[in-house]
Chain A
Amino acid sequence: MSVSPAIIEISPWQLLLCLGFVLLAGGTSIYHRLGLGRDLFVGTIRTFAQLFLMGYVLKFVFDVQLSWLVLLMFTFMVGAAVYIIKGRVSEKSVPFLMPTFISMLLTYTLVTYVVTAVIVGAKPWWTPQYFIPLAGMIVGNSMTAISISLERLFSDLKNRRAEVEMRLALGADYREASQDILRDAVKAGMIPSINSLMAVGLVSLPGMMTGQILSGTDPLIAIRYQIVVMLMIVAGTSLGSLLVTGLVRRRCFSAGQQLIVR
C-alpha cells in the first residue's frame, strides 16, 4: 500500500478543539429547549472513552500478533452485535440468541477468512491489521440486516398465521409452510446492503475509503479495498441472514409442526 509521507497528525489540543462542535450543538439544544444536553454530554464522553479504549486495545493486539487474541476479539465483537440485535427485535418468546451467535460467528469467520487469505493475501490470514477491521465491518453491517430479517420473520409469522396454518393443515412441514415468509425476511435484510452497492461513490463516500485516503493511501488503492469490503458485506449479510433466519425459524415451530409464535 503506498502511503504518503505527509500524514497530518491530530494533536490532543486539536482534538479538544473539536469540542467546539459539541458546544455548538449543546447551545442549540439549550436555545431551542430540545432537552438533548445530557445525551450530548454522555455521548461525547462515551465517544472519547470507547474510541480511545478501542485504539489502545487494537494497538496491543496489533503489537502482540497472537491468533487466539484476534479470534477472541472477533468473538467479543459478534457477542456485542448479538446483544444489540436482542434489543432491536421485539419478539421475546422464541430463544434466538444462541443460533444467531453461532451463525454469525461461523459465517463471518468464513467470509473474512476468504477476504484476508484469498483476496487480500494477508499472511497469516488472521493478521490483526486486516482481520479485525474487515470482520468488524461485516459484523457491524450485517447486525442491522439480521435485526431486520428477524423482526420481519417474527412479524410475518404472526400476521400471516392463517396462511402458515393452512399449509400445515394440508400436510406441509414447517419449512414448506413458511418458505415465502423466510424468503421475504432474508430479502428485507439484504435490501439495505444492495442499495448501498447502488449508491456508493455517487451518494456517499464510504467511511473506510475516506479513512484510507485521509491517512495517505492512493485513492485508486482505497477504492479497491472499498469494492472488496462492499462485496464482502453483501456476502456476509446474505449468508448471515439466511442462516440465522433458517435456524430461528425452526424454533418458531414445535416438534409437532405447530406454529408457536403468537
Chain B
Amino acid sequence: MCLVLDDVSFAYPGGAVILEGASLTISQGGYYLVRGPSGSGKSTLLRLLCRLEEPQSGRIVYQDTPVSEMEPARLRRTVAYVQQMPTLLKTPVRDNLLLPLQFKANSGLEPPDDGMLNRMLDSFLLDGVTLDAMADSLSVGQAQRICLIRSLLLRPEVLLMDEPTASLDAKSAQVVLDKAAELSRDGMTVVMISHSETTPEGVTDIIRINGRKLEFA
C-alpha cells in the first residue's frame, strides 16, 4: 500500500462538503485515473494527498505514516503535485526548472546540468524550447510540460497530475500519457485527473468520485 485515505471528510470553509467518510487505497506503482463531474472534488483529492488541504476528519497515510506526521516539504517532494493551470515565474526556462533546488528541503539534490535538462525537454517533445527562453513566452501546453519536468526533477515516488493533457494537442498529450505509463512501469505511482472518455494505455485503475465517496470503477 502506498497511499491510504481512511474515512476522510473534507469541506472548504463556508463551502459545500466535498468528501464525506471517503476511503481509498492506492498501491505502489499503480497508474490511476481520477474521474468525476466538474466540481465533484477531483482536484481536492489530489490536494489532500499532498497535504495542501487538511481533512476535517479521517486520516491520510503514506507508506504507513500519517501525512499529518510527516514534514510537509518532505511529503511534497515525495508526493509531487502538478497543478491544473501551469504556474511558471517570468524568468528563463532553466531558472523555472531549477527553482525547487533553491528550497532548503531540496538542498541535498544534485542540480542537473544543461545536458540533462535538454534531454528532458526533448523527451517531452519540447525540442523547440531553449533553456534561455523566457517562460512567459511559452504556450500553455509547453508551460504544462515544463511544470511536469520540474516536478520530475525532484525524483518523486508519487506523481499527482491535475488534467495534464487538457491544454495539449493530441501528439503532445500522447507524449505525456506515454511518459506517465513509463514512470508507472518504472515503479512510480501516478494519479491523474482526466476528463477524457478514453482510458490511456497502462492505467491500472479508475477512481470515481461518486456522492462524496471514492470508489474504483
On A, residues with C-beta under 8 Å from B are 162-163, 165-173, 176, 254, 256-258, 262
A168 partner residues in chain B, CB cutoff 8 A: 52, 72, 76
Q: A163-B87, A258-B53 are in contact. Are A169 and B80 (CB under 8 A)?
A: yes
| Given A256-B54, A262-B13, A169-B81 contact (CB < 8 Å) | yes
- Shortest CB-to-CB span from A75 to chain B, Å, is 35
Residues of A close to B68: CB separation below 8 A: 256
B192: CB under 8 A from chain A? Answer: no
Partner of B85, one of A162, A170, A257: A162
B42 at the interface (CB under 8 A from A): no
- Please measure, in the bound complex, the distance between the C-alpha atom of A262 and the C-alpha atom of B105, giving whole angstroms: 26
| Complex alpha-carbon distance, A168 and B147, angstroms | 14
Query: How far is B67's CA from A256's CA once the two chains are assembled, in angstroms?
Result: 10
Q: Would you call B83 an interface residue if the criterion is a C-beta within 8 Å of the partner chain's C-beta atoms?
A: yes
Which residues from chain B contact A166 at a C-beta distance below 8 Å?
83, 87, 147
Chain B positions within 8 Å of A, measured between CB atoms, are 12-13, 50-54, 68, 72-74, 76-77, 80-83, 85, 87, 89, 99-100, 102-106, 147, 150-151, 154
Residue of B nearest to A164 (CB): B87
Separation in Å of the B104 CB from the closest CB of chain A? 7
Q: Is the CB of B154 within 8 A of A170?
A: yes
How far, in whole Å, are A176 and B105 apart by their CA atoms in the complex?
10
Q: When chains A and B are docked, how far (Å) is the Cα of A168 from the Cα of B73? A: 7
Shortest Cβ gap from A217 to chain B (Å):
52
B83 to A167, Cβ gap below 8 A? no
Q: How far is the CB of A43 from chain B (nearest CB, A)?
A: 39
A173, B83: Cβ atoms closer than 8 Å: no
The verdict on A257 contacting B73 (CB below 8 Å), with A170-B154, A171-B100, A173-B103 known, is yes
Whether A171 pairs with B87 at a CB distance below 8 angstroms is no
Closest to A174 in B: B72
B83 touches A170 (CB 8 A): no
Add 18 more A-B contacts to A171-B77, A173-B72 (CB < 8 A): A162-B85, A162-B87, A163-B87, A167-B99, A168-B52, A169-B52, A169-B83, A170-B80, A170-B151, A170-B154, A171-B154, A173-B103, A176-B103, A258-B51, A258-B52, A258-B54, A262-B12, A262-B13
Residue from the list A162, A170, A258, A262 in contact with B150, Cβ < 8 A: A170
9 contacts between A and B (CB under 8 A): A166-B87, A166-B147, A170-B151, A171-B100, A172-B100, A173-B103, A173-B104, A257-B73, A258-B52
User: Given A162-B87, A258-B54, are A167 and B103 also a contact pair (CB < 8 Å)?
Assistant: yes
Q: Which residues of A contact B105 (CB under 8 A)?
A: 171-173
Which of A163, A171, A254, A262 is B106 in contact with, Cβ under 8 Å? A171
Cβ contact within 8 Å between B81 and A257: no
Q: Which residues of A contact B50 (CB under 8 A)?
A: 169
